[in-house]
Amino acid sequence: MSDETNIIPEDIAGMNFEDALSALEEIVKNLESGQVSLEESIDIYTRGTQLRAHCDNKLKDASARIEKITKAQDGTLATTDLDAG
């Protein structure tokens, strides 16, 4: 993959997850339709790759912030990372 697909443009970086996913779904729909030129297909595929990377980053950030609430034997509540057990 080229460096161009590894760089997330500012307009994509500013999107929330839902907007980025919607834009990615639209790109897939356009590519599957076969109604776009080869040149345009390459351009929108590159943008799709950038959108996918942005969505992946958003999901990784969200999963890193997920915590679970646990109750200690003395009745106090605490939070721990979801993966911590």
pLDDT given for residue 3 in this prediction: 52
pLDDT given for residue 1 in this prediction: 45
Residues 30-78: pLDDT tens digits? 999 999 999 999 999 999 999 999 999 999 888 777 777 777 788 888 7
Grade residue 84 by pLDDT with cuts at 50, 70 and 90.
low
Instruction: Give the total number of structural domains in the chain.
Output: 1
pLDDT given for residue 4 in this prediction: 54
Label residue 80 exposed, middle or buried (CB < 10 Å: 0-12, 13-18, 19+).
Answer: exposed
Range of the domain at 68: 3-84
> 48 Cβ partners below 8 Å, 6+ apart?
24, 27, 28, 31
Q: What's the length of the chain?
A: 85
